[in-house]
Amino acid sequence: MPEFDLDLFVIGAGSGGVRASRVAAAHGARVAIAEDRDVGGTCVIRGCIPKKLFAYAAHFAEDFDDAAGYGWTVGRRRFDWSALIAAKDREIARLNGIYKQLLAKAGVELVEARATVVDPHTVSAGGRQMSARHILVATGGKPWRPPIPGAELGITSDEAFHLPRLPRRIVIEGGGYVAVEFAGIFHGLGAEVVVVYRGEPLLRGFDMDVRRHLTEELLKKGIDIRFKCEIASVERGARTPLVARCVSGDALDCDAVMFATGRKPGTAGLGLERLGVALDANGGVIVDEHSRTSVASIHAVGDVTGRPQLTPVAIKDGAKLAATLFGGKPSAVDHEAVPTAVFSQPPVATVGLTEEEARTRILDVQVHRSTFTPLKHTLTGRPERTLMKLVVDAGSGRVVGAHMVGADAPEIMQGVAIAVKLGATKAQFDATVGIHPTAAEEFVTMA
Ligand code: NDP
């Protein structure tokens, strides 16, 4: 008789949990995974994937305009929000099915229920108690709204994917990833967008040139941004369905208010504190480099931890944990120089240190910066400009940061990230022959 019913019980079938369970099962572990919503987690069901589909939808507005510069006459256009929602829902349902199949093929039991941790080796889910040698908490996070009067009248990114109608005017609070991505989406689809951000410029934490450049591009498009401003309350309106009242006294009439004010880890009600699993001030599970919590048999990966809230990070940590526990290959993910992208319009992508970070860590920092009109827009007349920037440790010559705002930035940065991760020097960037004519070649030709 085995000591435990299972080798691994995973709570949460998002990117990190699914990857960990499949890798563990491939190593011969007996695995079950609990999920009380669709399989796929935030990224697949209510994050990266539907968001990127929406971003494509929104970009057509500019593409139609830009086509005129190339001799095209584009007929009358009309956008149908419900057609987009239906197409997106079909794709998400397909992906949910694929995820379920992947689990089944791997021999992972899917328990379609909410799970709680009973003791360091026991989980309760769907009316059953199961013992497991290891428990993995991969419950992700949830959007958070500020505790202001009327906050419940607003939406978060979760609801934005299911709105019955496209709002004519939307107020978005926040200046991070979700706020700028949805500002671009709603603006492109034809809504009037007001962004209310308590700081200035947008995207705190990114390189200051990137922050200024993106802010400027969004302003140029006609997105109304209220800096150093916060929403004090949301009320039902007389002229419009809602009014967002700002701390400044401004009253913003609108059809919808969206809170893009950050996310909280999904640890509530799991029973972790009772078992002595240490949590941080935000409620996130504290883990070491091997994703171990303060209780030896309990592990955590993904957005429920304080690590970067990025799908590929959760996937890598999930895979490494499974290989460590069941593959006889103890190893940890290197969380340095994780590339990231914001699918704003235009998009942002970055890897490594910002100039500001480099100046606090490195004695002699060299900065190479280039802004230009992309070739495409020489004929469209669109005033959009691209920013590219390299941050170099002058002592070693190593490129320690690369940043871009402009079309295809995320696609370009993935390759640049390999060079930065390998410790490439500016001289090696310069020795690389460019691909002409591209924007990407600027990274190897910057003076
Ligand atoms: P972020 O932490 O990126 O941004 C939250 C924003 O809300 C910040 O601008 C913050 O201001 C503001 N804010 C926080 N609290 C308040 C408050 N009480 N009142 C007013 N404003 C407030 O969170 P997001 O929800 O945008 O994204 C969460 C995470 O999800 C990201 O950090 C990212 O890791 C991930 N993500 C990744 C994406 C991608 O890879 N493309 C896309 C979407 C999300 P301040 O700047 O002053 O702190």
CATH number for the domain harbouring residue 114:
3.50.50.60
* Cis? peptide before 201, omega within 30° of 0: yes
Nearest CA to ligand 1 atom 38: 177
Assigned domain for 170 exists: yes
Classify burial at 127, counting beta carbons within 10 Å of its beta carbon; exposed 0-12, middle 13-18, buried 19 or more.
Answer: exposed
Residue 418 sits in a domain of what CATH number?
3.30.390.30
Asked whether 69 lines ligand 1 (CB < 6 A), one says: no
DSSP state of 328: S
Is any atom of ligand 1 closer than 6 Å to the C-beta of 182? no
Query: Is 352 in the same domain as 219?
Result: no
- Please report whether residue 331 resides in a domain: no
The dihedral region occupied by 104, where left means phi > 0, alpha psi between -120 and 50, and beta the remainder, is alpha
Pocket-testing residue among 15, 158, 178, ligand 1, by greatest number of atoms within 8 A of Cβ: 178
Residues 156 and 250 occupy one common structural domain:
yes
Q: Which of 260, 282, 303 is the last residue of a domain?
A: 260
Residue 422 belongs to a domain:
yes
The number of folded domains in the chain is 3
Q: Are residues 157 and 242 in the same domain?
A: yes
**pLDDT, tens digit, for every residue of 32-78?**
999 999 999 999 999 999 999 999 999 999 999 999 999 999 999 99
Among residues 296, 326, 356, which one ends one of the domains?
326
Q: Assess whether 160 and 248 both reside in one domain.
A: yes
Tell me, using a 6 A CB cutoff, whether residue 262 lines ligand 1: yes
**Which of the listed residues 261, 345, 350 should we mutate to test ligand 1's pocket, taking the one with most ligand atoms within 8 A of CB?**
261
Does 352 map to a domain?
Answer: yes
Are 286 and 160 in the same domain? no
Indicate if 204 and 282 belong to the same structural domain: no
Whether residues 244 and 276 share a domain: the answer is no
Indicate whether 252 belongs to any domain. yes
Same domain, 276 and 212: no
* Whether residue 312 has its Cβ less than 6 Å from ligand 1: no
Nearest CA to ligand 1 atom 14: 261
Same-domain status, 69 and 162: no
Q: Is 343 in the pocket of ligand 1 (CB under 6 A)?
A: yes
Q: Which of 243, 260, 277 is the last residue of a domain?
A: 260
Q: Is the CB of 24 under 6 A from ligand 1?
A: no
Residue with the smallest CA separation from ligand 1 atom 28 is 262
pLDDT per residue of the chain (447 residues) written in tens, 0 to 9: 689 999 999 999 999 999 999 999 999 999 999 999 999 999 999 999 999 999 999 999 999 999 999 999 999 999 999 999 999 999 999 999 999 999 999 999 999 999 999 999 999 999 999 999 999 999 999 999 999 999 999 999 999 999 999 999 999 999 999 999 999 999 999 999 999 999 999 999 999 999 999 999 999 999 999 999 999 999 999 999 999 999 999 999 999 999 999 999 999 999 999 999 999 999 999 999 999 999 999 999 999 999 999 999 999 999 999 999 999 989 999 999 999 999 999 999 999 999 999 999 999 999 999 999 999 999 999 999 999 999 999 999 999 999 999 999 999 999 999 999 999 999 999 999 999 999 999 999 998
Task: Give the residue whose CA is nearest to atom 33 of ligand 1.
Answer: 309
Distance 267 CA to ligand 1 centre (A): 19
Active site residues: 436
Within 10 A of 87 (CB to CB), how many other CB atoms are there?
Answer: 13
User: Do 319 and 175 reside in the same domain of the chain?
Assistant: no
Q: Which residues pair with 196 in a beta bridge?
A: 173, 226
**Which residue out of 203, 247, 309, 413 has the highest number of ligand 1 atoms within 8 Å of its CB and is therefore the one to mutate?**
309
Closest Cα to residue 325, out of 15, 2, 28, 14?
Answer: 28
Q: Is residue 332 a part of any domain in this protein?
A: no
Same domain, 255 and 270: no
Determine, yes or no, domain membership for 220.
yes
Domain check: are 229 and 347 in the same one? Answer: no
As a whole number of angstroms, the distance between CA 126 and CA 131 comes to 14
Residue 235: domain span: 151-260
Give tens-digit pLDDT for 238-259: 999 999 999 999 999 999 999 9
Is 368 part of a structural domain of the chain? yes
Reported in sequence order, the residue ranges of 274-359 that DSSP labels E, i.e. its strands, are 298-300, 340-342, 348-352
Longest dimension (CA), the chain: 75
Instruction: List the end-to-end C-alpha distance of the chain, in Å, as a whole number.
Output: 68
Q: Whose CA is nearest to atom 4 of ligand 1?
A: 176
